[in-house]
């Protein structure tokens, strides 16, 4: 069975993060998302140190869908340069992996 990857991004608002989460779930690019509010980010943008309130969106998928998910986020994100980071999950429960498999892999096989 494939390993799980978590694709994470930050959004400017709960509305944007929730919208993206619903879209990628409905398109079956991911099995699950978490929207984590009230993150205070510090970064350098266009030569200036800045900070902002953001919302973290974590999306769980399999490697076969990773490229399509990243492309979708890039195309539909409000930021000029969205943060998109992919984490490889080293361990997950078998039951959780089977749940994800049933949602994403069986769907892919029926296309």
How many domains is the chain partitioned into structurally? 1
Question: Is the pTM of the predicted complex or chain greater than 0.85?
Answer: yes
Mean per-residue pLDDT for 32-48? Answer: 97
Q: First and final CA of the chain: distance in angstroms?
A: 19
CATH number at residue 13: 3.30.70.120
Q: What is the SS3 assignment for 92? A: coil
8-state DSSP, 63: H
Return the number of other C-beta atoms located less than 10 Å from residue 81's C-beta.
8
Instruction: Compute the distance between CA of residue 17 and CA of residue 3 in angstroms, rounded to an integer.
Output: 25
Mean per-residue pLDDT for 34-49? Answer: 97
Question: pLDDT value at position 27?
Answer: 95
Span 72-109, pLDDT tens digits = 999 999 999 999 999 999 999 999 999 999 999 876 56
Domain hosting residue 44, numbered range: 5-109
Place of tokens 């930021």: 79
Instruction: Compute the distance between CA of residue 68 and CA of residue 30 in angstroms, rounded to an integer.
Output: 10
Question: pLDDT value at position 4?
Answer: 96
């Amino acid at each position: 069975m494939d390993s799980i990857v978590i694709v994470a991004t930050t959004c400017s608002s709960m509305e944007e993060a929730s919208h993206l989460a619903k879209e990628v779930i409905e398109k079956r690019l991911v099995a699950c998302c978490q929207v984590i509010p009230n993150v205070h980010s510090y970064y350098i943008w266009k030569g200036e140190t800045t900070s902002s309130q953001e919302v973290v969106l974590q999306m769980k998928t399999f490697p076969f869908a990773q490229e399509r998910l990243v492309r979708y986020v890039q195309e539909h994100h409000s930021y000029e340069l969205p943060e998109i980071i992919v984490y490889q999950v080293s361990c997950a429960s078998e039951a959780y992996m089977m749940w994800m498999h049933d949602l994403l892999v069986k769907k892919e096989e029926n296309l």
